[in-house]
Amino acid sequence: MAGKTLYDKLWLSHLVEAREDGSALIYIDRQLIHEVTSPQAFEGLRLAGRQPWRRDANLAVPDHNVPTDSLERSGGVAAIADPVSRLQVQTLDENCADFDIVEFEINDVRQGIVHVVGPEQGATLPGMTVVCGDSHTSTHGALGALAHGIGTSEVEHALATQCLIQQKMKNMLVRIDGRLQTGVTAKDAVLAVIGEIGTAGGTGYAIEFGGEVVRNMSMEGRMTMCNMSIEAGARAGMVAVDDTTLDYVRGRPYAPRDDLWERAEVAWRELHSDDDAQFDRVVVLRGEEIKPQVTWGTSPEMVLPVDGVLPDPAAEENPTRRIAIERALQYMGLEAGSRITDIRPDRIFIGSCTNSRIEDLRAAAEVVKGRKIAPGIKQALVVPGSGEVKRQAEAEGLHTIFLEAGMEWREPGCSMCLAMNADKLGAGEHCASTSNRNFEGRQGFGGRTHLVSPAMAAAAAVAGHFVDVRAMQE
């Protein structure tokens, strides 16, 4: 019998009930809750007269709507200028109080983007099943967990039953061999993967990221890769547990200690695919061949190396794809045949659950240190992923580097990744963004997003146009 994949192991260890119709009841260890996708779930519990199955399995934090401007933020929830956003954050506070769920409130130093906070606090751990009403829940798979986004009905279901009804996914291994070049990051690697398999390439699969490049990657880098599994269509991405994982988890506030740590470590060491495990699909990339990536269109698969030239729809034979290229070029205000390095961003956004951890801020700071943002840049936002990331960055003096370069240093939250708060693009504006989605209107009505790594966003801020960051680092 063939061995098991990491996903197989996580699935089997959480299987409560396998049903004849092919569905299964899967136990959920941790649910993360934020203000946007939870109000209707709590309302559902109230209407049915239900209580959470296990209150200690849940952790809540407001992130999508919170202001990042220091002045507005300092007044707490009551000072949120947008009344609709304010009501949503207040509703989370009230629901957590009513149902006795632990919440890191708006100005708690532990507050931040839910997918930064979970691993940072040890609230998400190896071997867990983790869900959240947010598609980027795949991030937590970097710890060797089974983590995926769910809709609000399932948020309510997980609250009420501690389980989800699931169908088992297929297994995909994405292996990146060799090494990444200096200046090429996890973000570039995952964008290259999405460019390779397409935005629906992972639909129906759980992706395990492996290979020498991933083994040598920091936890922050692995989180960036797993975060964007969903942009390849896969609800869950994951990485096997190794010393890097254990070193990251040890000592976190909610991580086990002493004897429990010893026991946990024994169990966690098993969280890898067996040597003879069978994957339904294997995709292999060479690390050395990956260049810094920049998206040019309105889907994450519309991505090119920084020295690339925009595609000509006339050369595309598949009619669906030809129309998609034409429409994307039109929406983005770009011409076929022009160069990535000719694109001049109006704004820069460094943040989001993809790239707002300390390593990301260090990489951006290294590029802008001693430099100024280009005169054509209207705004360059740096938004740390959590209060803890902010504190660490300030202890290292990174905020001073950003401020001296002419960038803005903000309070933690989702911010311009999806523009639910005041941080947004104007119509027609281009943005070099470290976030995860370049969909039409994502960062603001008519806004034009180019997804890049933190170092590439910083380089574009300084140069005033996209540029190969490797040239600036020499």
Partner 1 sequence: MKSFKVIEGIAAPMDRANVDTDLIIPKQFLKSIKRSGFGPNLFDELRYLDEGEPGKDCSDRPLNPEFPLNLARYQGASILLARENFGCGSSREHAPWALEDYGFRCIIAPSYADIFYNNCFKNGILPVVLERDIVDRLFREMYDTEGYRLIVDLPGQFVATPSGEQFHFEVDAFRKHCLLEGLDDIGLTLQSAPAIRDYEQRWREQSPWLFDVIS
| Interface of this chain with partner 1, residues 259 to 278, rule: CB under 8 A | 260-261, 263-264, 267
Q: How far is the CB of 393 from partner 1 (least distance, A)?
A: 26
Of 6, 10, 33, 36, the one binding partner 1 (CB under 8 A) is: 36
Q: Which stretch binds partner 1 (CB under 8 A): 69-77, 227-235, 359-367, 403-411?
A: 227-235
Q: Rule CB under 8 A: say whether 423 interacts with partner 1.
A: no
Q: How far is the CB of 217 from partner 1 (least distance, A)?
A: 25
Q: Rule CB under 8 A: say whether 195 interacts with partner 1.
A: no
First to last CA, the chain: 51
- Looking only at residues 427 through 456 of this chain, which bind partner 1 when binding is defined by CB under 8 A? 427, 437, 439-442, 445-446
Cα–Cα distance between 415 and 418 in angstroms, integer? 7
Q: Rule CB under 8 A: say whether 55 interacts with partner 1.
A: yes
CB 196 within 8 A of CB 221: no
Binding mask 297-316 for partner 1 (x = CB under 8 A): --x-----------------
Quick one: which H or E segment has residue 31? Answer: strand 30-33
Q: Rule CB under 8 A: say whether 203 interacts with partner 1.
A: yes
Q: State the number of CA atoms in the 13 A half-sphere of 109 facing the CB.
A: 5
CB 30 within 8 A of CB 22: no
Residue 97 Cα to chain centre, angstroms: 28
Of 16, 81, 282, 471, the one binding partner 1 (CB under 8 A) is: 16
Number of C-beta neighbours around residue 289 at 10 A: 14
Cα–Cα distance between 436 and 174 in angstroms, integer? 19
Cα–Cα distance between 336 and 331 in angstroms, integer? 13
Binding mask 340-379 for partner 1 (x = CB under 8 A): ----------------------------------------
At 138, the amino acid letter reads: S
Q: Rule CB under 8 A: say whether 235 interacts with partner 1.
A: yes
Q: Rule CB under 8 A: say whether 165 interacts with partner 1.
A: yes
Q: How far is the CB of 168 from partner 1 (least distance, A)?
A: 12
Residue-wise over 231-268: b if at least 16 C-beta within 10 A, else e?
bbbbbbbbbbbeebbbebbeebeebbeeeebeebeeeb
- Looking only at residues 74 through 133 of this chain, which bind partner 1 when binding is defined by CB under 8 A? 82, 84-85, 87-88, 91, 102, 123, 125, 127-128, 133
Q: Rule CB under 8 A: say whether 167 interacts with partner 1.
A: yes
Q: How far is the CB of 213 from partner 1 (least distance, A)?
A: 26
Q: Rule CB under 8 A: say whether 46 interacts with partner 1.
A: no
Sheet strands (E) in 126-204: 129-132, 146-149, 163-166, 170-177
CB 283 within 8 A of CB 174: yes
CB 7 within 8 A of CB 238: yes
Of 69, 105, 107, 160, the one binding partner 1 (CB under 8 A) is: 160
